[in-house]
Amino acid sequence: MRERIIKRYSECFKRQVVDELENGRFDSITRARLHHGIPGATTVQKWIKHYGRNHLQAKVVRVEKPDEPDRISAYQKQVAQLEQALGKTQAENVLHATFLKLACEQLGQDVESFKKKCDGKRSTGPQGPGPVG
């Protein structure tokens, strides 16, 4: 088994790396990290945050179209409506299953055998093509 090495950096070293970034010696966190042989991708970023030098970190700027927030809001409303409709449909299905069970009990039939017997047949209306006239 390979020996695992855990590096611990001194406060002095951490401050030196952050100061070098702040003074412009390195133009990016990645270059400072590679120069000093720091393997962790977020190690230096954590040091910057810890020492309150957040101005050295890259800023995330979200660019969106003017109508994008409105579309997102509309999609969220639509999702809410669809979830509500789905819930209503599920409740109706439970209700129908309960009615079917009660009807089968009153008729003295098993629900599964009733479903097999009536599978695909309509309970009302025409039972297929009528006589051709």
Kindly give the confidence (pLDDT) of every residue in the chain, 133 residues in length, as a single tens digit, with 9 standing for 90 and above. 788 888 899 999 999 999 999 888 998 889 999 999 998 889 998 998 888 877 777 777 888 888 877 888 889 999 999 999 999 999 999 999 999 999 999 989 898 888 888 776 666 655 555 555 4
- The DSSP 8-state label assigned to residue 120 in this structure reads T
Residues 74, 112 within the same domain: yes
pLDDT tens for residues 42-70?
999 899 888 887 777 777 788 888 887 78
Q: How far apart are CA 56 and CA 127, in angstroms?
A: 77
Overall domain count for the chain: 2
Q: Is residue 16 part of a domain?
A: yes
Q: How far apart are CA 92 and CA 89, in angstroms?
A: 5
Round the CA-based radius of gyration of the chain to a whole number and report it: 34
Q: Is residue 94 part of a domain?
A: yes
